Amino acid sequence: MDPYRVKAEIDLDALQHNLRVIRQRAGPGGRVMLVVKADAYGHGARAIANHALRCGIESLGVGTSAEALELRHDGVRAPILVLGTIIDDEARDCLRHRVQIALHSSDRRAQIQELARTLGVRAQVHLNVDTGMGRLGVLPGRALDLLREIRGSSHLELCGLMTHVSAAEGALADSTREQARSFEGVLSAARSEHLLRGSIHMANSAALFTGLRPLYDTVRPGISAYGILNPDLPGSGDLKPVLSLRTQIVFLKDVPAGTPIGYSSTWRAERATRIATLPVGYHDGVPWRLSNCGEVIVRGRRAPIVGRVTMDYITVDVGHIPGAAVGDTATLIGTDRNETITVAEVAEKAGTIAYEITCSVGRRVQRLYTGGENLELAAQRAPDPRNTPSAYGWTASTPPSAQPPARPAAPRESGREVRGS
């Protein structure tokens, strides 16, 4: 019997495939900053970042400095940008560990400059321009002043200029064209004053897959690398889902008609049936909203979630599935035989977005990494004349400079299993 109550299978080959698709969309010379915030959208930042770097991505984007430091602690040497903002207390550790910071105000610039001077380091910063997100970032009218201030700061190194797209439809939205125009205005003014340094980046997944132009030299995909994209967007079918979420039947009970199931008895058996209890709940990533409307796959067939989703358990009606037994695998997200439940389907039923579904796969869910061997073996074997260059333009004998393969792969360290952080 499977030793896991709940497991998230993470397919590193699917990740690699998606990165190849992203790389193609980014165009020749286009660099990829993979967004691994929120524990890589629930997939496990450590393993995802390490594998993606071996696949040749150039840098990482995170949500908080703690996420960046965790990766540094794990030996990641590639550039890491805290995409949003740090809070004051985080600045020191960021500078000490060469974590890049997005700047959006004069005050923050002054603070970082002063701190970097004290520590005797050069702080690496990106200027975030708010062209329509309305959240973080300096307004376009103030961007030039801030760039001049940065240039005049002895201990600041400008590593890039960024803006963030607000529309879920990416380049298909008028607002994105407006944002691009506004960003372009800042860039051309900065260019004429020779204030531009480092990379320029704007495109998230939606913008990348809807053909934002220009794409500049770096793209910042997150969700698409995990194989998820709004199915209405072009190219979403090229991606492969990375995560499957599975549990097992721990108890079966034949109940007579009229039996109430779960908290508040929100479901009653219309006829005699068989109820399976699964040891997975909303703490593990099954939204409470799936109460009486979600489904799981058992023996290749869909079984409805009946009664309320609870913290640790759900109940499903398997009366129509002959032979269903304790120990059977139940798939919450993923494929079993001819049936598939996608993250998009779960999100739709739960009335939320796909991002929230994968991000809420809880920490007690065992992450199990599969695949990824091909690349690892290729990087470790002696050069083989039959080797063809990989899609990333480097061969077995020339591993990517971004991440020398000195350190063993995260999934390898514990026998291809990494505990969720």
* Residues found near ligand PLP in the complex (CB under 6 A): 35, 37, 83, 164, 204-206, 220-224
Query: In the bound complex, what is the minimum distance in angstroms from residue 170's beta carbon to ligand PLP?
Result: 9
Interatomic CA distance for residues 390 and 384, integer angstroms = 13
365: left (phi over 0), alpha (psi -120 to 50) or beta: beta
Query: In the bound complex, what is the minimum distance in angstroms from residue 275's beta carbon to ligand PLP?
Result: 38
Cβ proximity to ligand PLP: between 48 and 409 the closer is 48
Residue 102 near residue 81 (C-beta atoms within 8 A): yes
By residue count, the chain amounts to: 421
Q: Which amino acid is at 328?
A: D
Interatomic CA distance for residues 387 and 168, integer angstroms = 40
Query: In the bound complex, what is the minimum distance in angstroms from residue 333's beta carbon to ligand PLP?
Result: 17
To the nearest 10 degrees (0 to 180), the angle between helices 45-54 and 12-26 is 60
Query: In the bound complex, what is the minimum distance in angstroms from residue 4's beta carbon to ligand PLP?
Result: 28
Query: In the bound complex, what is the minimum distance in angstroms from residue 220's beta carbon to ligand PLP?
Result: 4
Tell me the sheet residues that pair with 367.
8, 418
Interatomic CA distance for residues 77 and 73, integer angstroms = 10
Q: Which residue has the tokens 């077995």?
A: 396
3-state helix, strand, coil in the chain (%, to 5): 35, 25, 45
Q: Return the residue nearest ligand PLP (CB atom).
A: 222
Cβ proximity to ligand PLP: between 7 and 37 the closer is 37
Cβ proximity to ligand PLP: between 173 and 296 the closer is 173
Cβ proximity to ligand PLP: between 221 and 294 the closer is 221
Cβ proximity to ligand PLP: between 215 and 280 the closer is 215
Active site residues: 37, 263
Neighbour tally for 30: CB within 10 Å:
18
